[in-house]
Amino acid sequence: MDSFPAAFALYAYGVAFVGFAVFGLQLLMGTKQSPRARLLAFCMMWGAAWCALSAGFVLEPHPLLWMLAHAADALHYVLFLLFLAACVVDPEGRQPLSRLLRSPSWLLRLLVVLVTPCAIGYVVLSWLVPTGKSAFIWFMASGLGLSLLGAVMTEQFYRNTPQQWRWGIKPMTLGLAFTLIFDLYFFSESLMFREQDTTLWAARGLLHALAIPLFAASSARIREWSIRLNVSREAVFHTSALVISGGALLLIALAGYYVRYFGGEWGRALQTVVLAAGALGLLASIASGSVRAWLRVFINKHFFSLRYDYRAEWLKLADTLYSASSVDALREASIRVMADLVESPGGILWLRSEQGHYAPAARLNVPMLDAREPADSPLVRLLLDRMWVINVEEHRSRPGVYGDLRLPEWVAQIPDAWLMCPLGSKDMPLGFVVLGRPRALLDLNWEVRDLLKTAGRQVAGVLNQTQAMEGLIEAKKFEAFSKMSAFVVHDLKNLIAQLSLLLRNAKKHHDNPEFQQDMLDTIEHAVGRMNSMLLQLRSGTQPIEQAAPVALTPLLERLHRARARSACALELDAEGGLFIRAHEDRIERVVGHLVQNALDATPQNGKVSIRARRDGDGVVVEVEDSGCGMTEEFVRERLFKPFQSTKANGMGIGAYESFRYIQDLGGRIEVDSEPGRGSLFRLVFPQQTAGLAVA
């Protein structure tokens, strides 16, 4: 053996050893294996032993290693033949291995009769090859016999496999045919020339290893073999793309070498052009979405029993939907997740509008469409009532498949319209998606349709949840506006009561200059209050201006003057120089509300008192009346709740607003009341509120 075949043989058998060992270990570690799967695993392991011993013989040409290598090769052959016979005898793979080997089948008995002498002769005669030509001839004849038996069993294997499983065993049959044809040629050529071709022997192990990916493809397709290849589709996709790219680069390099060798004076320049053009074409193919889609469809169709990796698809769907940052982005993402399932470049999302019909709500890589589809149309009933996925091209070629359905006119306005997929279910008919023609030809079978319908339910759930959230946010806005409107109406009621009192007193005191000035001040203040409320109504519930120091004593004096002419007596006792940090109009509204309530609850012979004083570093304002009072249960359970009032025409808003505002300032309201003896409301402004106001 010269240096080139020796070096090549070492690497070839080394690579083959790795391939056989990895596949064999994967089969051995599989769960719930059938007897045939274990038999195939043992066959792969003995194939690894044959390659390892052959590589060892290359390093150390010893007769013992030569014989052991052929013994492992013979056992590898025998196990493969038993595996094929087991597949023929027991197609469903249910019999235990021990019972299968004792089977009375004529095929197994004939196989044992024929294989035994060939295998023994192949092993024993390999030891006697150096002794003479006759031993070599019988040695090669034994190998040829094993190859012929393998070819016959491969034909029986394919012929006796049920029709519905032939799609799964086709890759393995091709791999077996490839290796057996090579072995037949190798042994026949050696018999013919009575000499073993060292180059063919060096390549034999690697050529056998080339069939392993085909065996793996079949083991992944046939579920009954209980063989599971835990290889992700993305890994197969990237590996295949890498292998194809490598092959393309090799072809480009060979073409460049050929052009340079035969191109004469222009050879070098033409080689540069060929290499650059080939590299550009390869890069364009890699960047092409259609090429990637075709490769992905090809891999899923020919290497996996199921088209989709459902775990990966579901994670991708969830990531795409929940990463959308807005409603428009979510609708576009909904189209994308549906389109990616069938390698479509885009489509149009149709959702139900408030008017009851369906209209385009988003689009992806297609022109916008101005159309409407009635909710009771045959198309919508077929999509959302019966949950059908409609193939537009199939409808055009075979209209009877979808009954008497007539596609709407707007379908013709969508370029390359292909699929109509429902979103939702019968109980939640949200809408549908119209998808464009895919980048690569796709077989629209039951698996694809079921996945599209399931993904449509998930997309509809997310979209429906988003619509519900939008409705909730809108309801919250209306709630806030209604609450603010209630406050404004309450304040207007108080202003109307104040102006009504002023109007009644004007008939008695219209000649009094002091009353006239007081009336002008009151009207001016009421107009200012109403303008402030209108501004507040336009801007929101929170005050526009920031809290500022408020002189409390002048404010209380103004309130006293405005309500001093009421039916009952109103007294004011306030220390001078009292300041708090608040909003002047709102704190006046709070205290004015308490004073007005006290006046309303007090008879004409009663008395209402307003007191204000310092309490440490804080300020306390008290409003006390001798009116009807309140029960302890009312104070505890209802006083500061909205829309709760003891007055016949009361709205129950003032106390709630006062309580919330004092809390926002960091203070508190204390109430001491007893039925028949009056009430005492105490506003306590904390130290920091009063202290900051003075500063």
What pLDDT digit, counting tens, does each position of 228-285 carry?
434 455 555 555 555 566 566 656 666 665 655 565 555 566 556 656 666 666 566 6
Torsion of CA 487, 493, 499, 502, to 10 degrees: -120
Using an 8 Å Cβ cutoff, are 353 and 371 in contact?
Answer: no
CATH number of 310-468: 3.30.450.40
pLDDT band at 53 (very low <50, low <70, confident <90, very high): very high
| C-alpha neighbours within 13 Å on the C-beta side of residue 154 | 20
What is 286-319 written as a DSSP string?
HH-HHHHHHHHHHHHHHH-SSS--HHHHHHHHHH
Tokens 């939640």, residue located: 428
Question: Which H/E stretch holds residue 193?
Answer: helix 166-193
273 to 165, 251, 279: CA distances (angstroms)? 49, 14, 10
What is the predicted pLDDT for the residue at 403? Answer: 81
Residue 473 CA, chain-centre distance (Å), reads 25
Q: What's the token pair of residue 679?
A: 């009430």
Which class would CATH give 3-230? mainly alpha
CA distance 600 to 594: 10
Average pLDDT over every residue of 298-318:
65
Superfamily of domain 545-694: Histidine kinase-like ATPase, C-terminal domain (3.30.565.10)
What is the predicted pLDDT for the residue at 435? Answer: 93
Query: Strand pairing partners for 417?
Result: 436
Buried b (16+ CB within 10 A) or exposed e, 507-545: eeeeeeeebeebbeebeebbeebeebbeebeeeeeebee
Q: Which one, of 83, 345, 53, 356, lies nearest residue 205 by Cα?
A: 53
Q: How many residues would you count in the chain?
A: 695
pLDDT band at 624 (very low <50, low <70, confident <90, very high): very high
What is the predicted pLDDT for the residue at 405? Answer: 86
What is the predicted pLDDT for the residue at 79? Answer: 86
CA distance 176 to 208: 9
User: Whole-model pTM above 0.85?
Assistant: no
Average pLDDT over every residue of 288-307:
56
Tokens 């393998």, residue located: 150
pLDDT score of 560 more than 70: yes
CA distance 92 to 226: 11
pLDDT band at 227 (very low <50, low <70, confident <90, very high): very low
* Helix/strand/coil for 615: strand
Cβ neighbours around 688 below 10 Å, total: 13
Domain boundaries, the chain: 3-230, 240-303, 310-468, 545-694
Look at 44-48, 258-262, 538-542 and tell me which has the smallest mean pLDDT.
538-542
Residue 276 CB contacts under 8 Å (≥ 6 apart), including other chains: none
Q: What is the mean pLDDT of the chain?
A: 77
Q: Which of 69 and 428 is assigned the larger pLDDT?
A: 69
Average pLDDT over every residue of 555-564:
83
Using an 8 Å Cβ cutoff, are 581 and 613 in contact?
Answer: no
Q: What percent of the chain has pLDDT over 70?
A: 71
CA distance 365 to 346: 5
What is 85-124 written as a DSSP string?
HHHHH-TT--S-HHHHHT---HHHHHHHHHHHHHHHHHHH
Helices (H), 194-288: 198-210, 212-221, 233-262, 267-287
Q: Which one, of 149, 1, 136, 120, lies nearest residue 61 by Cα?
A: 1
Question: Which H/E stretch holds residue 472?
Answer: helix 446-509
